[in-house]
Every structure is written in structure tokens, then in C-alpha cells.
A and B are shown apart, each in its own frame.
Chain A
């Protein structure tokens, strides 16, 4: 669960060629992919073992309900926002699974916001697993971190911010990733030849700031723009009850600054600007019986003054506390972020406390609930969220998400979203 509000600072000029842009990106990815296949076919041509195809995925119907009327000019003033999602997964593996290709395209059809109506290649990668090392070529998703209410150190993938406000939906990131597994820990090298720009809701969409972001006019610090090669190095190890990760990233900041610029008609628009940054990070979890202690921290250079940010907290689970077999988990996390208010991308997590509860019923339907609130200690606003999931049959599941905010003043970063409280219901069909 996450409460990051990327859309607060963002918006968008409705653009009709998002699909075209996606196609171009697809072509770039497909090129990398074909290269990988050719490489592997050459190396493994002597192996006659048959491979295995696997086809799966899901289709979903989303319905967002906004009780309040839209606030900003240009927004479609509708209380109901239905949309459809399709995410098939195709895998082919051979050599007993030591070689594999995964392809996961993604499509959302939203009748109201043309920016949210988009397609992506979540994954298109070749993976080779060997003795003590593995290699990945193509687009993939990589997650780093341990905390629940903010994913501070997670930096490889761009956020697909039109999907949800929690920042957990990601765009596929083209990469070459070499992993080395050693007695003393694992080392992963990432080279990322192409950068993915963040998505933002369009002019007609909800959950945006008062001025839409014009994603077509994105600016870059690097002259190479989205072709600036980005690199990352990560070390992870397990020491008894401790899981530790250290990382460094050099390249294009996944978080853009949003600059107010007049467009051709003299209208103010917001332009995303992507800086080149260096970011070092550490993430640690200590697991002591029912207690999970979590800490993430970053040190970033390249966006105004160097700054430091930290997220840390605890999760305690009362096993079997609900009914016969249900677990109750309680969570508390604190977020500090020392970034420059003028020269770094804005964040809502400058000085915030999160408290939450998780209920896992451990029943046949895998029912679970997650509820939480983020208090901002500076602006005194509060964001509430409740999520619930349940399996209906072997193929159908239902999810509900309620997001509310309260105590918002004009200085709050949530101010532009004060009328965007909403309930989202999602019906999934898995195949």
C-alpha cells in the first residue's frame, strides 16, 4: 500500500498519440528481445529438449466512484469512471527452465481519460539461469525495499501513475541485468539503455492537479534525453534474521520536477523535467518472531542540495487473533524527506506518520483487508485508505479500495485532490 500522490504535482495535455509512442517503445524493446533470442538460440542450438509454453493472465473491470463533483476545469464531471484492463502473460521456457522468455503486454481502456487509456509492455525479457549467475535482457520489473507505506529505495522502474495513486503500478523498464550469486551475498548489475517517462492523468481525468501535465513536452537534463544510459548496482545478503540491501543508481531520475511554462496560447502548463541523479540507498529488515523491523534510506545528489530521506517502522502480527485462523497485523512507519522544496521533485512524505492494520483471514477465499492512515506532521492533513480482496471462484476475484483525505489546507500538497475521494471496485477474471 502506498499513498504517494504523483498526480498531485501532475497533469496532462490530452494527447492522442500515446498509443503511437507506446508502439515505438515496443519496437525498441522488440529489437532487444530479438537479439536476446538470437543469442540464446545460437548458444543452445545443440539442446534438443522440447520447451514449454505457458499462457495465463487476467482481465478486469474497474469502477471508480467519486462522490464529489470534479473541481478542475476540463475534467469530465462524472461520478462513475468505469474502465477495462487486460494483461495476458505468455512464457516459453526450455532447458528445464534455465532459459525463458516472458511477454506481458498491458492494456487499459478508459472512456473518460485518454491518458489513462494506454498500453504498455510490462515485460518482454529473456532470462538465462546458470550456476551462480543469471542474465536478463529486455523489459522487466524489479522491486527493491521493505517498507509498506512508501517505496523509497525502489528506483529501477518508472511509476505508471495513471493506474493508481499508490505508485505501485510500474512501466516495463528495458535493461540488461547480470546477477552474481555468492556465498557472501548477491550482486546485481543493471544497464538501462532507454528511459520511460512517467504517465500522468489527462485534462479530462480525475486525481490530478489543477493544471494538467503536458507529457509531450518533457525536458531532460541530458542531451541524450530518454536514451541516456542509466546504471545501477545492488548488493543483497541474508545474515540470520537480517535481510540487507545496498544499492547505487546513476542516471535519469524516475521522479520528474514539474515546471510551469506557458504554452503557445499563453496558457500555463506543467512540463516534466528529468534530472540526472546519483542515489545511494540501504534497506534492511530484521525478522524477530512476530516483529518485522524495517528501514529504508536514500542519499540523492543532482536535484538542488544533496538530500537524505528515510522511511522506517515496524509490523507486528497477532497470529490466529481473528476467528479461528485469521491474523491481525499492526503497522507503524515514519517518513522523513529532506529534499529541496524548489529544486527537487515534490513529495508528500516530508514528515509523515503512517499507522495501519492488516487482517488476513487465511480462509479458502484468501480474504484480506488493509487499512491505514498517513498523517502529515507539517500540513496536518490525513489520507485514509482501506483495501479488501477476496476470491469469488477459482477464476474470479474482487477487490475494493477506498481512499479519503481530510484536514486539507491550502498549503497541503493534497489540496488539488480535495474533491477526489473515491471508491474503486475491481472484478478480476484470471485465466
Chain B
């Protein structure tokens, strides 16, 4: 653990140093894979800063190994928090399946500490503070774990560049990421960042036994506000169970006038 932390601190300071030398991260020295991997991730992070807030309508299609499908539909509001050590605030409201309609999930993400989370149960009109130690647990029975969907903060991982290679029509940097936060279900992830826009194109997730567990493919990237890229089609395959989940964003809007005060424990009680 200490080694990981030290490596992380070391790599971050290196990255800052590298960043100050050149604005183009791809120029980082190939002989230092930690600095290079970190620089790639920093560029990915930098390009996504300042989005402010967003609102999305999402559909999730869950498919078991027999091909049977079930649908989830939800809306999500995200408010960007820029403070160090804190992640974004998000509110997720379920519309489908109908028996969980109106159920809402509020999360205040943190980089290293457990997130603050509340759940609203509409049948009882009850707001419950819940434990967020279930990071590796499945989100609504899907192949996405909570940690796959929670705010992707730069400092949640250490980064090591592995290689550059073609990914479809694009050229990608392949970076190994090791979670620094507690309770992750992964020993490591391998992420493909395209070198033209620094978007995540694919992630391989390795379980606690370091065996390939899942692969997430990002498709249908669209650009917003001339800057922010969002994948509208995220497809997760579990290699060990054969189950699949497709997460489709039907609509994403940025800077909708959402305020931080719209994402509170009180606002959970009045979702619709």
C-alpha cells in the first residue's frame, strides 16, 4: 500500500514537472511510463474540466447469458465540484422499471474517502442515508459497478503508459490504471485513450484475482459546447458470466442552470 501511495505521489509530481515543460502530453518521455501514463490521464481530465453541470436521460439494457433482456430508464443530474479531494454531486432518478419509479439516489463523491450517499424510497417517502462501501457492487443488477459510474476523478488512480496502438480508425495510448481508493473490486484497469481528443475508448477491468472480468466499449461520442465529449453508447461485457449491459444516453444537456442547491437531501424528497 505504501508503495502504491509513494508511486502515486511520485508520479503526480513528475507529471506536474512534465506538464510544465511542454503543453503536449504525448511528448513525455517514453522511457518513463508512469509520467507518460499520468500525462495522458491529466490531459483527459483537463479537457473535461469546467463543464459545470449536465442533465441526461439514460437507458440501460441488461442482458443475461440466455439473451433475456430487461430495461432500466433513469435521469441523472450532475453538478461539477472543483474543490480538491471532492468529486461531483449527482442525483439519479429512476423511471423504469415501474416498480422502482421515483426511487432516487444522491451521491456526493469524494476522491479517496467513501462518498456520501442517500436513497429515496417513494412508497414510504423515506430518505435513507446509506453506506457507500459497496463500490464494487452492481448498480441496479447491471454489469456496471457503482465505481464504474461514479465520478471519474483523476487522483483515484495511478497511471502507467503501456503502449500506443491503433484503436479502430484512431491511434490510442494504452494506460494501466490502479485504483488508489479503498474497496475497489479491481486490481487494475487498462484504458485506451485516443490521442486525437483524449477520450476513453475502451476499458478492461481485472478482478481481485487479476483475471479479466469485464470490458467496457465507448461508442457514439458527441461533442458539447465545442469542448466536452460524451459517449452516448457504453457497452459492458462480463467475460466471466457472459452477461452484458448497454448504457445509452438518449439526451445530454450541459449548463442547464442546475445549482448545487438542487442536489441536496431535501431535493430527494421532491423528485418526480
Contact = CB atoms under 8 A, between A and B. Distances in A.
Interface residues of A, number: 50
Nearest to A291: B131
Contacts of B265: 186, 236, 238, 243
B125 A428 contact: no
A97 interface: yes
Interface in A43-61: 54, 56, 58
A391 B99 contact: yes
Nearest to A242: B129
Contact of A289 (B114, B116, B129, B136): B114
Contact of B141 (A236, A320, A364, A430): A364
B114 A363 contact: no
Interface in A304-360: 317, 319-320, 324-325, 327
Contacts of B242: none
A142 B131 contact: no
Contacts of A364: 62, 64, 70, 141-142
Main secondary structure of the interface of A (DSSP, over half): strand
B261 A319 contact: no
B133 interface: yes
Nearest to A179: B266
A291 B114 CA distance: 13
A181 B267 CA distance: 10
A430 B266 contact: no
B138 interface: yes
A168 interface: yes
A57 B14 CA distance: 57
B101 interface: yes
A325 B125 contact: no
Contact of A366 (B100, B101, B129, B130): B100
Contact of B272 (A100, A134, A395, A431): A100
B138 A56 contact: no
Interface of B: 62, 64, 70-71, 96-101, 114, 116, 124-131, 133-134, 136-138, 140-142, 183, 241, 261, 264-266, 270, 272
Interface of A: 54, 56, 58, 91, 93, 97, 100, 102, 127, 129, 131-132, 134, 141-143, 145-146, 168, 179, 181, 186, 236, 238, 243, 285, 287, 289-292, 317, 319-320, 324-325, 327, 362-366, 391, 393-395, 397, 428, 430-431
25 contacts: A56-B101, A58-B98, A100-B272, A143-B126, A179-B266, A236-B266, A285-B129, A287-B129, A289-B131, A292-B129, A317-B133, A319-B136, A325-B137, A325-B138, A327-B137, A362-B141, A364-B64, A364-B70, A364-B141, A366-B140, A391-B97, A394-B97, A394-B98, A397-B99, A430-B99
